Every structure is written in structure tokens, then in C-alpha cells.
Amino acid sequence: MMANDDDVLNGVSGRPLQLLSRWLSDAASAGVDEPRTFTLATASLDGTPHARTVLAVGVDDASVRFTTSRPSVKTADLAANPLAAGVFFWPALMRQVTLHGQAVELPPDEARAAYADRSPNLRALAWVYEDLGGGSPGAAVDPDDVRAAFTRELDRDRPEPPPSWTAYALRPHRVEVWWMPGDAGVATRARFDLAGGEWTRRFVLP
């Protein structure tokens, strides 16, 4: 283990999501664009994979929270198969965090709180999904209608979320962190596994 590996993992051996929180702060401080975005992978009941980029609205010791509108491919997947994976990657910092676990829908009050924290543009977009979603994932839309609905909803700036609004917590049972210092020449990858309420750590090939 390289000397600076201890510095990277200091204080997080039993709480790997604390390292994710730290790296999110580092990415924001470094000026990384949209540092809280991550790739969320889901699968349908028959195993068909789907992936998309979403925004992490909160991180604690047990979960990463994100929001969405329903119906969507992701909500349909998670209703049938709650197992999911997430990947945060900050190329400028040469750091990556991968999460594997179960996504659980959160109570409506938590979804409302997340909506209130969104920018006016993102609140408007949530209502565009409500206005034009058509009741099924992947419904056909006219781009001009989307732009018109967005402008209309941006002017309204509704304080309450639409009925289709919801939030999830991705609760990982495995977290992998990967990093490569600029002068190292080789990366390090640490794997954390949760069993019986306790996290264990080991190093694996990067």
C-alpha cells in the first residue's frame, strides 16, 4: 500500500460513504462541472440493462439519494427489480466511486424537500414531465412542445412538486473506491462490503 493510501482512507474504514462525501466536496472545490452527477444502472425484471446520468441530492453513511419523475424506465425497473448500481467519476481528479445495492423509494415528505432544494430550471423540468409524460416511459413528444412547456413552467415556478415526483435512496452493500495520484503511475482500488451491519475492507486489482 502506498504511503498516501492511508491518507486517502483515513477515518472511513467503517463508513465508505464518508469518503464519497469528502470526494464530492473536493470535486466541487476543484471546479469540476456538476460534481454530484453519477451514472445509475438498473435492470428490468428480464435482465435488460438501462443506464442514465442522475443527480445525487444527498449522501449519508447509509445511502445516496436521487430524485426522478414517474413513470420512467428507471422507476419501472426499480419497481420490478430494486437492485441497482451507481458510478461517480471525476476524470480531472482521477477518482471513481462505484456503488452496488438496493434502491428504495422514499416517503413523500423527503421527495418534497428535495424538490424545494432544486433550482428553478429543474423544478420547471419536473413539471414538464408531469405535463407531457403521457403516462408511459418513452412516450413520443414534440421538442417544440417540450420547450414551450418548460418556458411556461419556468414562469410559474410552482412551489410544490407534481404528483409524478418521487425520490429514492440507493443503499449499497458494496462500495468500491478507485484513485490514482498524478505521480503514482498505478491506481489503487479498495472494496468495502457490508455484512451484519459492519463494513469490511480489502484492496483488489485496480
Residues making up the annotated binding site for FMN are: 74, 96, 178, 189
Binding site feature residues: 74, 96, 178, 189
What is the distance between the alpha carbons of residues 176 and 163, in angstroms, rounded to a whole number? Answer: 35
- Please report the sign of the dihedral spanned by the C-alpha atoms of residue 28, residue 30, residue 31, residue 35: negative
The vertex-64 CA angle with 138 and 26, nearest 5°, equals: 115
Q: Which residues pair with 102 in a beta bridge?
A: 83, 171
